[in-house]
């Protein structure tokens, strides 16, 4: 009798244990993935149990660290606020005015640091994506909309992918300089003495490097020959027209830098910010129309790997892409958005005419960037900072 009763209780305990295991997802379902999964290894949301699991893990981390995202750049202010509002995740913003090389260095400098100075994600110039991958600084991850990103604007393994592009333009404070330049050649005129500046240091800044590249296209160069761009800026510097300062919208507003060479979306956003004080205009030059693609990537040393991946999912959703468009940028999934007729007409109407703009290949861009960064000091001699 005692043996039979013991067996009965043992069976009852087994049934209860089996029931509890089943209720807790012991079969390896999404719940286990969301609570135990190491998101630093995820190459897609599906790896960790899907979007719901990713959102839950990102909320548990509670924060995301970005770098080099000025709020007036491509409407990043609106993008960041929308992300925070949607997911309740804090965004720690490092050095908004940093250049692409600074972003890469921030990853390197904080490999062992899981604190607030270690960026989770970066937004860098096209050439910096491949070089950062080669250095082992990036983590592969393919967003849910991966198939709608053009093949020539992404790494096949998902280490980096294009996010948006713009064309280099001139932002002119017309209260200080009413004679508005229409092309690169115009900037050499003596009337612009001490009035022109780049938006970065051509030895480290993607925007400044590509400004030199664009000038090459307008001065006898090509996508395979950026040397004329260095020659052009040497002439601009020798004429006294180039100011060795890193331009920003504030310096344009005060008149200290009447002519800023910058991406068209930055220039157009500045006009909105100025609200007529000062009066200013944006010119897409007649020649040398150079389209620059930026890329997103996740740090291989990201302290908040789930939040980093959720940020990417948000940026490449229709919502994120349209938020960039509100900042005058051409989002990388623009063709897909237009094919599905989800772009509001008022957003289309805001974008300038950039017809004829050319896109360099990655090999061309790497070659040009190497030439410009290595030879700026000897060819031009302007210590931009």
To 10 degrees, the CA torsion angle through 195, 200, 201, 205?
-150
Alpha-carbon span 297 to 120, nearest angstrom: 9
SS3 annotation, 314-342? HHCCHHHHHHHHHCCCEECCHHHHHHCCC
Mean pLDDT of 344-370: 91
Q: Which pLDDT band holds residue 35 (cuts at 50, 70, 90)?
A: low
Whether residue 348 contacts residue 326, with contact meaning beta carbons closer than 8 Å, is answered with: no
Alpha-carbon span 214 to 287, nearest angstrom: 9
Q: Strand runs (DSSP E) across the chain, as ranges?
A: 63-67, 90-94, 121-125, 138-139, 161-173, 196-198, 259-263, 280-283, 291-299, 330-331
- pLDDT tens-digit readout, 325-346: 999 999 999 999 999 999 999 9
Alpha-carbon span 209 to 230, nearest angstrom: 10
Alpha-carbon span 384 to 350, nearest angstrom: 32
pLDDT of 22 above 60: no
Q: What is the CA radius of gyration of the chain?
A: 25
pTM of the predicted model as reported, rounded to 2 decimal places: 0.82
pLDDT of 19 above 60: no
Alpha-carbon span 155 to 295, nearest angstrom: 10
Q: What are phi and psi of 133, to 5 degrees?
A: -60, -45
What's the CATH number of domain 165-291+357-379, 3.40.190.10, 3.40.640.10, 3.30.413.10, 3.30.300.180? 3.40.190.10
In Å, what is the CA distance from 168 to each residue of 121, 208, 254, 256? 25, 10, 22, 20
The residue extents of the domains of the chain are 40-164+292-350, 165-291+357-379
- pLDDT tens-digit readout, 206-227: 999 999 999 999 999 999 999 9
To 10 degrees, the CA torsion angle through 243, 244, 249, 255?
-30
In Å, what is the CA distance from 84 to each residue of 90, 91, 103, 379? 6, 7, 22, 45
Fold of the 40-164+292-350 domain: D-Maltodextrin-Binding Protein; domain 2 (3.40.190)
pLDDT of 320 above 60: yes
Nearest of 346, 313, 354, 310 to residue 330 by alpha carbon: 354
- Establish whether domains 40-164+292-350 and 165-291+357-379 are of one fold: yes
What's the token pair of residue 92? 């720690």
Mean pLDDT of 176-196: 98
């Amino acid at each position: 009798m005692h043996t039979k009763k013991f067996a009965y209780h043992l069976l009852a305990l087994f049934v209860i244990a089996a029931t509890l295991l089943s209720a807790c997802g012991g079969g390896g379902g999404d719940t286990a993935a969301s609570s135990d999964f190491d998101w630093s290894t995820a190459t897609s949301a599906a790896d960790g149990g899907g979007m719901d699991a990713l959102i839950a893990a990102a909320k548990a981390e509670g924060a995301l660290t970005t770098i080099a995202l000025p709020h007036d750049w491509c409407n990043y202010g609106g993008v960041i606020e929308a992300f925070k509002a949607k997911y309740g995740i804090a965004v720690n913003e490092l050095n908004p005015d940093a250049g692409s090389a600074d972003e890469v260095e921030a990853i390197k400098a904080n490999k062992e640091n899981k604190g607030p100075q270690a960026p989770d994600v970066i937004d860098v110039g096209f050439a910096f994506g491949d070089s950062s991958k080669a250095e082992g600084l990036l983590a592969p991850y393919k967003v849910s909309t991966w198939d709608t990103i053009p093949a020539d604007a992404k790494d096949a393994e998902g280490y980096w992918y294009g996010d948006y592009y713009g064309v280099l333009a001139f932002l002119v404070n017309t209260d200080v300089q009413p004679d508005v330049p229409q092309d690169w050649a115009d900037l050499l005129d003596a009337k612009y003495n001490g009035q022109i500046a780049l938006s970065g240091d051509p030895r480290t800044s993607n925007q400044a490097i590509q400004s030199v590249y664009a000038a090459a296209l307008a001065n006898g160069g090509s996508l395979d020959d950026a040397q004329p761009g260095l020659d052009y800026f040497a002439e601009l510097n020798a004429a006294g027209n180039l100011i060795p300062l890193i331009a920003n919208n504030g310096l344009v507003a005060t008149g200290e830098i009447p002519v800023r060479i910058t991406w068209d979306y930055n220039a157009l956003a500045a006009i909105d910010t100025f609200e007529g004080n000062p009066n200013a205009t944006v010119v897409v030059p007649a020649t040398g129309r150079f389209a620059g693609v930026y890329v997103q990537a996740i740090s291989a040393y990201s302290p908040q790997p789930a939040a980093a991946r959720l940020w990417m999912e948000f940026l490449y959703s229709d919502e994120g892409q349209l938020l960039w468009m509100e900042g005058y940028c051409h989002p990388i999934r623009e063709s897909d958005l237009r094919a599905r007729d989800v772009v509001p007409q008022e957003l289309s109407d805001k974008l300038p005419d950039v017809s004829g703009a050319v896109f360099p290949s990655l090999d061309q861009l790497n070659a040009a960037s190497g030439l410009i960064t290595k030879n700026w000091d000897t060819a031009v001699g302007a210590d931009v900072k």
